[in-house]
Amino acid sequence: MAETLKLLKDGNKPSLLAAFVNAFLGIIKGAAFFFTGNVAMFAEMMHSFGDAANQFFVYVGSALSKKAPNEQFPGGYGRIVNLVCLFAVIIVAILSYETIKEGWHHFLHPSTESKGMLIALSVLFIGGVLEGTVLAKAAVEVLHEAGQEKAGLASIPKAFRFLNRAKPATKLVFMEDLVATGGNVLAFSAILIAHFTGWAQIEGLVSMIIGCMMFYVVGNVFLDNARGVIGETDQEMLNRIAHLVLDDPNIKDIVRLEVIKEGEFLHVELVAEANPELSLAYLDDVRDHLTEIILSQKGVTKVTILYDEDDGEMTWVHIGDRPPNLPQK
């Protein structure tokens, strides 16, 4: 129990914050839907509750993924965050379907008039502010994990450029709250349009749009984490490490280099060709030096280096142009 509590302290903080915020918003949106009968508010309620459950599971998964390797799982628990994210998107997918179904029903039969416009607008305004705040914090966390400086109000658009460098949990929170903030704006607009124009179908249409936005997050997150469960290569980091290894004059060639994403971490396996005339003691020092350099790279937590005899031919051809400098730890 003590170990679990210690791990939870190191869980992804943006996802925990987002879970609490969305749970609160789900409750007040549910109350607003009960008093107003507004279908756009129903869509937002489902969206908030789905995000809350999703992000809480992600927080727990990100914490458990930091559990130390043991005899049963020598590779560690890094990929558990990917498994949890896959489970979490199932919840969002179900709520997305219910949101679209309810929106379609209201679009076809818009006869039921909603009431309490000011209540609905007030709740959506509060939701927009809170979810926008969480989105901004998630954007700052994305930039931090990518080794970039935060940029104030420009942090959100800037975060898009570095989203692939963020941890799975942080990326999920950013995408979900981006959709949630947009959903609040759409629902707010739909209520105003329906009130002033009498076009009641707009609320059902917006509900379906919000549901489709939720499905987009489901698909994107599912594909990202499915690759993570299988063991995706970080190509950019692989190229950088290849350059660092070949910059060492004692390394003549690379036989095999793998940089595998293990949840939030990177594991490196290297088989390099070295001069056979070098002593084992000297090569051991070279291994220690390379291990230290590779471990200093962002996200790398495990390095395995093996040697092979130099065959006199250069076979490593997957380097390409030198990539831009990646952030250090």
Query: What would the mean pLDDT of 161-187 be, rounded to a whole number?
Result: 83
CATH topology of domain 2-230: Alpha-lytic protease prodomain-like (1.20.1510)
Locate the domains of the chain by residue range: 2-230, 235-309
Whether the predicted pLDDT of 34 surpasses 70: yes
pTM for the whole structure: 0.68
pLDDT tens per residue, range 228-260: 776 667 777 888 899 999 999 899 899 989 888
Q: How far apart are the C-alpha atoms of 195 and 266, rounded to whole Å?
A: 53
* Short-list 192, 51, 212, CA closest to 135: 51
Q: What percent of the chain has pLDDT over 90?
A: 13
The 3-class secondary structure across 46-66, one letter per residue, is HHHHHHHHHHHHHHHHHHHCC
Tell me the range of 125-129, 169-173, 288-292 where mean pLDDT is highest: 288-292
pLDDT band at 271 (very low <50, low <70, confident <90, very high): very high
Range 68-75, long-range pairs (CB < 8 A, 24+ positions): 75/262, 75/267
Q: What is the reported pLDDT for 81? A: 75
Task: Give residue 109's pLDDT.
Answer: 81
Tokens at residue 249, please?
């004059």
C-alpha–C-alpha distance, residues 79 and 224, integer Å:
12
pLDDT in tens, 129-143: 988 888 898 899 889
Q: Assess whether pLDDT exceeds 90 at residue 290.
A: yes
pLDDT value, residue 324: 42
Instruction: Judge if 2-230 and 235-309 fold alike in CATH terms.
Output: no
Q: Looking at per-residue confidence, does 137 or 168 come out higher?
A: 137
Q: Strand pairing of 265-274 and 251-262?
A: antiparallel
Q: Are 143 and 126 in contact (CB under 8 A)?
A: no
pLDDT at 212 over 70: yes
CATH of 235-309, one of 3.40.1180.10, 3.30.70.1230, 3.30.70.1350, 3.40.640.10: 3.30.70.1350
Q: What's the chain's average pLDDT?
A: 82
Chain Cα centroid distance, residue 5: 23
Q: How far apart are CA 93 and CA 100, in angstroms?
A: 11
Q: In what order do the strands lie in the sheet with 251-262?
A: 251-262, 265-274, 300-309
